[in-house]
Each structure stands twice: as structure tokens, then as C-alpha cells.
Amino acid sequence: MRLHKLLYLEKKHIQISILIIFFTLQLVKSGTVPEESRYEDCKPRNCGSGPDISYPFYVQGAGGDFCGEPAFEIVCMDNKPMHWTSSGPYIIKNISYENQSILLVAAELVNAPCFAPSQRFAFAHNSPFKFTSKHADLLFSYGCNKSFAVFGFETSLVSCASNSSYKSFVALLPKAVKINDGCISDVFVPVDLEGDRSNQTIKNVDYVQLLKNGFTLEWHGRGCGNFCTESGGRCRQENGVAVCYCPDGTTHPTKCKQGNLI
């Protein structure tokens, strides 16, 4: 009799368990988006002009935040992709996914009547970006008095930012230096310097052209890297982890597999 009751209870227990499992499966099933559409979600986007935007970058407000990482957010403004730093917006002229680099130009310098930047560049908090080996600085010194000198560096007058009593100068600094030049304000602006750095000064470069060209920043080792894209997949974030989505609907940690190697 007792055994009978026990068996009955056990049977009931199993039935309830099966019901729970069944409903859990239903829930999971209805909450799951088909994998192919997850692949479609992260197709490369574009601001209307400029480079294609894909992992680790994503376009803010385009419904695909999970297609990139927070520090790589891009804001589209006037059809241009912008990267936000602590010192303001920079236009992304180009992205190299292969070299893991971006080419930036200060928004204030586009169509500027006078190439005299007011914004000193500063990386965003916790920025994953770094300068490259091409990095040099243009130092703009505004409102300088007669004792003006940046020790050891040639300077040129920035005439569009000067008048009879207020003089502004620019110097090319291929390496970081401390300055004490008797000016009202100083602004360091990054540029890319090609070739031999030792013999280049403000006198033999075209600084307006350097400003227009912009400067390169690089990043290192994010998520799926290039392997996913090269294998035909698209990276996206899932629970803080990069996952490679493949056209056939499968997912992999790094790249779409050909064979069973990954």
C-alpha cells in the first residue's frame, strides 16, 4: 500500500517535471530569433557617406547595438560617421578592419576659413584607441608675446589667427615636449607624419594639408577579429562575448568553419 502511494507520487512528480520542461522549451523556442536573421541584423551599415561600419563598430540608434562594442559607437551626423572623444566629435574618414585603424579629422576643421584648431585632442575615457608610430603633434600657440619660442623647434606665424597685438604660431613636434612659451593658450593637434621624422619641421611641411589629411588611431585584438569576416561571418555581441554568426545559421567563437577544425 505504502509502496503504491510512493509510486503514485513519483509518477505525479515526473509528470510535473515533464510539464515544466515542456513549458520551458516553449518559452525558449518563442524567444529565439532564427539564426539567419541574427546574421542579417549585423550586415555592414553606412552613414550615407564614408566607410562601411561593422564589428567592432556599430551605429548608434540603428537598432544594432549588439553588432559592436560600446567604445566603438559611431554617431551619424549630416550623413557622416562621427567618433566622440572627450574633446568633441571627429569625422571618421576611413576604417581599416584589416589594419585595425581609423582615420579621423576634427569636425571643426571641415570647411574652416582659418586652420587654427581650438580643440586639443583627448581620448575618450577608457578608450581602446592608441596613436600609431606615425603620430606627431602640431602645436598651435595663440596670443603670444615677443618672448615666444618653443625650445628647439621652428615656428610659423598663423596669420589668420594673428593681428598687430595678438600673434599666433604653429610648430611641428615629432615627439612629446614640455613647453613654456608665454602664450595665452596652447593646443596640441595630432597629425600623421610619413617618412623620416628627424628632418621635418613646420617650415618644410604643409601643415594645412596635414590637418586636412587627419590622423590615424589603432585598436587591438577585439572579439572575433578578422577571422570571422574572412570566413564569411559577422561578429556580434552576446552577453558581453563576441560571437561569429555564419550565413548558414550556425555560430562559432571565432570563424565559420570549413571542416571541423574550430
Ligand X SMILES: *[C@@H]1O[C@H](CO)[C@@H](O)[C@H](O)[C@H]1NC(C)=O
Which residues sit at the interface with ligand X, rule CB under 6 A? 93-94, 96, 99, 101, 145-147, 163-166, 182, 196, 199-200, 204
Tell me the C-alpha distance between 169 and 23, whole Å. 73
Tell me the C-alpha distance between 155 and 134, whole Å. 21
Residue 180 C-beta: closest distance to ligand X, Å: 8
Residue 30 C-beta: closest distance to ligand X, Å: 44
Nearer to ligand X, 6 or 160 (CB): 160
Nearer to ligand X, 100 or 231 (CB): 100
Residue 142 C-beta: closest distance to ligand X, Å: 8
- Which cell numbers in the block locate residue 254? 571565432
Tell me the C-alpha distance between 24 and 148, whole Å. 75
Nearer to ligand X, 147 or 239 (CB): 147
Residue 21, number of CB atoms within 10 A of its CB: 10
Residue 254 C-beta: closest distance to ligand X, Å: 22
Backbone angles phi, psi at 61, to 5 degrees: 80, 5
- Which cell numbers in the block locate residue 180? 613654456
Nearer to ligand X, 66 or 112 (CB): 112
Q: Which residues have C-beta within 8 Å of that of residue 18, sequence separation ≥ 6?
A: none
Contacts of the segment 65-69: beta carbons below 8 A, 24+ positions apart = 66/41, 66/42, 66/236, 66/237, 66/238, 67/41, 67/42, 67/234, 67/235, 67/236, 67/237, 68/236, 68/237, 69/128, 69/222, 69/223, 69/237
Q: Which residue has the cell 617650415?
A: 203
Residue 182 C-beta: closest distance to ligand X, Å: 3
Residue 262 C-beta: closest distance to ligand X, Å: 26
Nearer to ligand X, 124 or 149 (CB): 149
Position of minimal CB gap to ligand X: 182
Contacts of the segment 107-112: beta carbons below 8 A, 24+ positions apart = 107/82, 109/211, 109/212
